[in-house]
Amino acid sequence: MDQTDIHQAILKSETSYQCIEELEKKCIKAIALAHHQTHIPISTHCDKGKNGKTTSETVT
């Protein structure tokens, strides 16, 4: 995408209902790193709103 006019608009993440699985944590941390390097906004989704705070704590 570096040689095109196409640019990322948002970095997206989601988490499971009851808890954040290890693979999800790795993905969230990778998204946070990408955000810090590119300043692209992050959007997260947690099933039934149960993991928003934990997701936020993982990103920061």
Q: Which amino acid is at 15?
A: T
Domain ranges of the chain: 11-59
Secondary structure (3-state) at 42: strand
- The 10s digit of each residue's pLDDT in 3-60 is 888 877 899 888 877 788 899 889 989 999 999 998 999 888 877 767 777 777 776 6
Strand partners, 46: 15
Instruction: Strands of the chain (E only): list them.
Output: 11-15, 42-46
Q: Say which residue the tokens 């039934």 belong to.
A: 48
The model's pTM is 0.71
C-alpha 33/C-alpha 18 separation (Å) is 25
C-alpha 18/C-alpha 47 separation (Å) is 9
